[in-house]
Structure 1
Amino acid sequence: MLKFQNKIIVITGSGTGIGKAIAIKFAENGANIVILGRRREPLEETAKELERIISSVKSNSFVKIFPGVDVSDEDGVSKMFEDLKKSHGAVDIVVNNAGVSGPVTCFANAPISEFKSTVGIHLTGTFWTSSQAIKTMKPGSKIVTISTFFTEERPYEQRPYRFRSPYTASQGAKNRLAEAMSWEITDKKIISIATNPGPVHSDRIYKTVYPKAAAEFMRVSGFENLTPEEVESVNNDILPLLGEDEKTVKNGISQAADKLAKLKSITAESDIKKLVSTISALLAKIQQIAEKVQNNTSKMIADEQFLTQQQVAETVLMLSDDNISHILNGKVIPGDRVFYPVKPHIACSIPDVQPDFGSKITVFALDATDESDVIRAKHLAEKIEDAGGKTVILISKTSPKIAEERLAKFHSHVMDITSQENVKRMLNTATQKVGPIGNVIYMTGKVPQIGNLVDLSRKDWDGLVDKFINTPAIFMQESLGIFVPGGAKNPPLFKGKEGNMIIIGPDMPAGSKTTGVDRARVEVFRGALRPFATTVNQELSDVLKSRLRIYLVLPGSVDGTESSNDNIMKAISYLTSGKSVNNAEIIYYPDETRS
């Protein structure tokens, strides 16, 4: 028998690229293959290739396709596994491979709808596919999740991945989700492993990620006599031309020039020719930068080689081996193959400073889980006002009812904080009626007592993703809009601007009986916030040349020590003092004792 004879393998995002390579490798080893994706045509082409392989190896296996299934779609994924269970029984291996590039732009310019969509596909897609698969799995089954090396931490480091904030947030959480699942499904004897293969040769990198990143550099820095908005408009038209033949490129540039000429009300033939020349130079510059990014990345790898898609498929095949998967259960493999030098973004030691909040407003956004979160908000707001500051507290309507009563003495309002329009309106109102905003502090509240993540309903899971990822992103983006009006579309406006945004993330569980699974669940959401904060800060400091910062404060300790509101206040005092703005550290653990 072939190694995976009679096994049923489900591979998401498997019509093209890495997913297709994985499907081929399993088919060569005798497996039954289930492939799914949003587009029918590539799935059908891949199915034909898989059937030829099955015929050649004489495995008598089957291929089943599920076109039109987006992994973020609740009903589509659920019905797929119900169908498989009725028609073929238990699923043996699930490979979470589906993914998208997401918006490749500064966070300030990334539509929240696209932010949520990226998180939905990468993180929620992985969660929902896994949780539904578990219902059909028997002991010995495996879940293999493919993630990215960019979100993994080294001691006291957290890597940024500029222009990719929703991607890094969801991938960071996805790695931690794979770890948490290994704890939660151990009694079922199902194995969960993640793999971070590093840079892989793929059309997504060469035709999308690197060119879009290069194009964003040009939008931010400007190009010749084009405004940032004009550069962005032109980029949308010319990026698809990369790699095309000379005639196609020439015609595409001409069309882009004509389109821009109409926008600028340019009619003179000589001026249109200048636009053609400018756009040609812009495309050449984008290609040059994209190639430089690729080359620089390869220099950080020992052998200077990106992996092939077939090598990634070999890795997944290896991780699906019975013996190896038992050894590596709960691990993220490999941890890294890229030496990506970064500054030490993480700190545990916080300097003492005299609190001074001046005349500017500190806006709190509170999404309290329980009474202790409300007590914390009250404590911090009182300390700020005692130090001469003014506060406004925006309370999530899902917070405990005592929040409104306990915080009534402040400028406080109960609202739907998941609505971007509501957030925008309230921040503008606070500015107009109370005064200029200097600090925005978003409090996620604690992770609620929820039991196993894999047993959650889709509604409950979506609520957690909103609470700890999407809604903080909304507040941070709208805060940037308050600090730099119009800056999203006109990046030079960011230069030199000041302002502090602090996310107080979920506490590490406290108590002497805290378990590994308790910590792992909380780490899913802390794991999203760390790369998100680091990525956005690199954009704000290195790319946009501003003095705006998004800081992340993570209360509690790995040893179960109770978090201290005074320690959090000490961090806030320091982070809003202006003394931290030139430091690399933007993630703070105020209750950890490491120095």
Structure 2
Amino acid sequence: MLKFQNKIALITGSGTGIGKAIATKFIEEGASVIILGRRKEPLEEAAKELKASIPQGVNSSVRIFAGVDVADETAMNNMFDTLKTENVTVDYIINNAGVSGPVTCFANASLEEFKSTIGIHLTGTFWGSVQALKVMKEEGKIITISTFFTEERPLEQRPYRFRSPYTAAQGAKNRLAELMSWELTDKGIISIATNPGPVHSDRIYKTVYPKAAAEFMRVSGFEDLVPTEVDAANRELLPLLGEDENTVKEGISKAAQKLANGKDISKLTETFTNLLNKIQSIAEKVQNNTSHMIANREFLSQGQVAESVLNLCDDEIAKILNGKVIPGDRVFYPVKPHIGTTTPGVHQPDFTGKTVVFTIDATDKTDAQRVEFLAQHIEKNGGKVACFISQSTPTELQEYISGKFHSHVVDIKNPDEVAKWLNTAKTNIGEILGVIHITGKLPEISKLTELSRAKWEELTDKFISTPATVAQRTLEQFVPGGSNDPRLYKDVKGAIMIIGPDLPIGKKVTGTQRAQVEVFRGALRPFTTTVNQELSDVLSSKIRIFTIFPGSVTGTEPNNQRIADAFNFLVSDNSASSSEVTFCVDEVR
């Protein structure tokens, strides 16, 4: 009898790539598989191959759910409801579906694409796992595939320049896998995440590396092309990579004619040829540099990733590794100390003539009191304060803050609203020294895995999308036009501080409570690290984003003075050279 005979595995994103390889391994080991994805044709092709791989004499089956995007609530609900109605029991859920997302500096990224990437990678994993509980019994296993370029562990950050929404989603996914092991214990469900590391795939070779190389070219301009022209050229040229010589020449010629805009077509053709060659050269260099961080310099094959996933589904191994994030990547990645505790002390800055803007998404009274403490710190040192309070902040907290400081209740989820009010603050009050965003605390929740989809999305908005929205619009405030011309960022100063969410307080804090908060901290840590790497290493800017996480693992009360000290450091000249960008100010570890 084969190892997984009479078992059923459901693999998301399984029409191609790693998902298809995992489905193949399950079939070869006797399991039946359910494959799903957005496109019907690849799934049908995969199903033919999978059926041909069923071992002789084994009664396995292959089932397709086409047109199912893991980010689509209705599609996922319908799929699992169908399985439940048919009394299908699924033994293994493999959360594999993903997209590369935007490959560009955060300052230039579409916020809609940012949210979409979070929706597929993080919300898709969350909701797929929650809905899967309808058809899983005790000893079921949820295996979540993450990436090595993210938050391997809470204190080990691996910034992935040009991939801020991807790293945010993946970091949160790792912590979500840990959380599910706590919350699903009573159901006998095991949850494990694995970071397979660099894998041979078309997505890396044809999408991620070339797009990253193209972004390097856009940031600085190329030959006589300004960044916007490079961007337009890249969209025409990147699809030509990997094509035969005649197709490439013809494609470059067409691109030059299309984008000439009065320029000499012959000269532009030469420039485009050089640009494409440069992009290919940089992409190969990025791939080569990554391989040099691996002992044998070999990326994994998709089959090897599939083999590791099936090993994690083994009953005994799964019991041992429940709740773990398995770093299977073999990559020796030199990690800077991006996470710190208290910030270095600096002389108290004089804020005279400067404005500090607070964007506030408070949850409870202590959040409002934190705003009060920090705003008073700014004012007593000569600065002026403007508070923009989220519409979702409870009315009594809105009134508490508004009664003490110049305030407006605004839709801080809306990027246009954020931009408008930042401009208003600068025009009416004065030059903006920094923006402080208060996420508020995580509301008291029994189990995240019992939340409705709407409640879950409220949390991802509160702790991921809204901080990103505020941060990006603040970058635009500091560098008007910088998204179109990244060269404008060079040497510009500015400060953005994200505060929260807090760790829970008290002597009887449970592992589940801490793990819930860590899901959202797990998004903000790699996001902060990645964006700062882009600002410092790519854009040569002195703008910095810090994230401050109040509270400690021992449940002690947060100290707001330490947050004020962190802001003092952030606006000092010293912060531009700091590799530490996330501070757990109340920790003594």
Once residues 430 and 357 of structure 2 are traced to their aligned partners in structure 1, the CA distance between those partners, rounded to angstroms, is 11
Secondary structure at 2:498's aligned position in 1?
A: strand
Aligned ranges for residues 62-461 of structure 1 at < 5 Å?
62-153=61-152, 157-261=156-260, 264-266=261-263, 271-334=264-327, 336-353=329-346, 354-408=348-402, 409-461=404-456
Cα deviation, 1:130-175, whole Å, max 9, x if unaligned, reads: 0000122100000000001111346854221000000000000000
Cα deviation, 1:297-320, whole Å, max 9, x if unaligned, reads: 000011111000000000000000
Secondary structure at 1:365's aligned position in 2?
A: strand
What's the counterpart of residue 31 of structure 2? 31
Once residues 142 and 376 of structure 2 are traced to their aligned partners in structure 1, the CA distance between those partners, rounded to angstroms, is 48
Secondary structure at 2:587's aligned position in 1?
A: coil
2:94 and 2:145 in contact (8 A); partners too: yes
1:512 paired residue among 504, 507, 512: 507
Once residues 457 and 154 of structure 2 are traced to their aligned partners in structure 1, the CA distance between those partners, rounded to angstroms, is 31
1:131 and 1:455 in contact (8 A); partners too: yes
TM-score (norm 2): 0.98
Secondary structure at 2:576's aligned position in 1?
A: coil
Secondary structure at 2:191's aligned position in 1?
A: strand
Bigger mean CA deviation after superposition, 578-587 or 441-450: 578-587
Once residues 53 and 340 of structure 2 are traced to their aligned partners in structure 1, the CA distance between those partners, rounded to angstroms, is 53
2:197 and 2:328 in contact (8 A); partners too: no
Once residues 215 and 559 of structure 1 are traced to their aligned partners in structure 2, the CA distance between those partners, rounded to angstroms, is 46
1:14 and 1:37 in contact (8 A); partners too: yes
**Closer, same or farther in 2 for the Cα pair 1:579/1:356, shift >3 Å?**
farther
**Letter in structure 1 aligned against 2:69:** D
Once residues 552 and 27 of structure 1 are traced to their aligned partners in structure 2, the CA distance between those partners, rounded to angstroms, is 45
Once residues 142 and 154 of structure 1 are traced to their aligned partners in structure 2, the CA distance between those partners, rounded to angstroms, is 22
Structure 1 position 524 matched with structure 2 position 519? yes
Give identity over the alignment, percent. 64
2:104 and 2:163 in contact (8 A); partners too: yes
Bigger mean CA deviation after superposition, 129-138 or 571-580: 571-580
How big is the shift at 1:58? 2.6
Once residues 300 and 345 of structure 2 are traced to their aligned partners in structure 1, the CA distance between those partners, rounded to angstroms, is 47
1:151 and 1:172 in contact (8 A); partners too: yes
Secondary structure at 2:534's aligned position in 1?
A: helix
What's the counterpart of residue 532 of structure 2? 537
What's the counterpart of residue 7 of structure 2? 7
**Closer, same or farther in 2 for the Cα pair 1:335/1:553, shift >3 Å?**
farther
Indicate the RMSD between aligned Cα atoms, in angstroms: 1.1
1:395 and 1:403 in contact (8 A); partners too: no
Once residues 507 and 59 of structure 1 are traced to their aligned partners in structure 2, the CA distance between those partners, rounded to angstroms, is 53
**Letter in structure 2 aligned against 1:273:** S
Secondary structure at 2:573's aligned position in 1?
A: coil
Structure 1 position 550 matched with structure 2 position 549? no
Bigger mean CA deviation after superposition, 358-367 or 482-491: 358-367
Structure 1 position 47 matched with structure 2 position 42? no
Cα deviation, 1:202-242, whole Å, max 9, x if unaligned, reads: 00000000000000000012110001001011101110111
Structure 1 position 585 matched with structure 2 position 580? yes
Bigger mean CA deviation after superposition, 432-441 or 99-108: 432-441
Once residues 588 and 549 of structure 1 are traced to their aligned partners in structure 2, the CA distance between those partners, rounded to angstroms, is 13
Once residues 343 and 157 of structure 1 are traced to their aligned partners in structure 2, the CA distance between those partners, rounded to angstroms, is 8
**Letter in structure 2 aligned against 1:391:** V
How big is the shift at 1:403? 2.1
Bigger mean CA deviation after superposition, 554-563 or 166-175: 554-563
Equivalent residue pairs, number: 587
**Letter in structure 2 aligned against 1:23:** A
How big is the shift at 1:359? 1.5
Bigger mean CA deviation after superposition, 63-72 or 354-363: 354-363
1:356 and 1:577 in contact (8 A); partners too: no
Secondary structure at 2:114's aligned position in 1?
A: helix
Once residues 448 and 57 of structure 1 are traced to their aligned partners in structure 2, the CA distance between those partners, rounded to angstroms, is 54
Secondary structure at 1:451's aligned position in 2?
A: coil
Once residues 26 and 242 of structure 2 are traced to their aligned partners in structure 1, the CA distance between those partners, rounded to angstroms, is 32
Bigger mean CA deviation after superposition, 251-260 or 98-107: 251-260
Bigger mean CA deviation after superposition, 468-477 or 397-406: 397-406
Cα deviation, 1:442-489, whole Å, max 9, x if unaligned, reads: 110001111111110000000000000001000000000000000001
Secondary structure at 2:574's aligned position in 1?
A: coil
How big is the shift at 1:356? 2.5
**Letter in structure 1 aligned against 2:133:** I
**Letter in structure 1 aligned against 2:412:** I
Secondary structure at 1:36's aligned position in 2?
A: strand
Unaligned runs of 5+ in 1: none
How big is the shift at 1:277? 0.7
How big is the shift at 1:180? 0.2
**Letter in structure 1 aligned against 2:33:** I
How big is the shift at 1:179? 0.2
Once residues 352 and 202 of structure 1 are traced to their aligned partners in structure 2, the CA distance between those partners, rounded to angstroms, is 47
2:31 and 2:60 in contact (8 A); partners too: yes
Once residues 185 and 160 of structure 2 are traced to their aligned partners in structure 1, the CA distance between those partners, rounded to angstroms, is 33
What's the counterpart of residue 478 of structure 1? 473
2:342 and 2:566 in contact (8 A); partners too: no
Secondary structure at 1:579's aligned position in 2?
A: helix
Secondary structure at 2:149's aligned position in 1?
A: helix
Once residues 350 and 510 of structure 2 are traced to their aligned partners in structure 1, the CA distance between those partners, rounded to angstroms, is 40
1:502 paired residue among 497, 522, 527: 497
What's the counterpart of residue 487 of structure 1? 482
Cα deviation, 1:408-464, whole Å, max 9, x if unaligned, reads: 231101111111111111111111111111101111000111111111000000000
**Letter in structure 2 aligned against 1:173:** A
**Letter in structure 1 aligned against 2:444:** Q
**Closer, same or farther in 2 for the Cα pair 1:430/1:289, shift >3 Å?**
same
What's the counterpart of residue 58 of structure 2? 59
How big is the shift at 1:582? 1.3
**Closer, same or farther in 2 for the Cα pair 1:478/1:155, shift >3 Å?**
closer
Cα deviation, 1:522-568, whole Å, max 9, x if unaligned, reads: 00000000000000000001100010001111111111111111221
Bigger mean CA deviation after superposition, 385-394 or 335-344: 335-344
2:544 and 2:570 in contact (8 A); partners too: no
**Letter in structure 2 aligned against 1:282:** L
How big is the shift at 1:589? 1.0
Secondary structure at 2:71's aligned position in 1?
A: coil
TM-score (norm 1): 0.97
2:476 and 2:483 in contact (8 A); partners too: yes
How big is the shift at 1:355? 3.8
1:501 and 1:549 in contact (8 A); partners too: yes
How big is the shift at 1:570? 1.5
**Closer, same or farther in 2 for the Cα pair 1:88/1:456, shift >3 Å?**
same
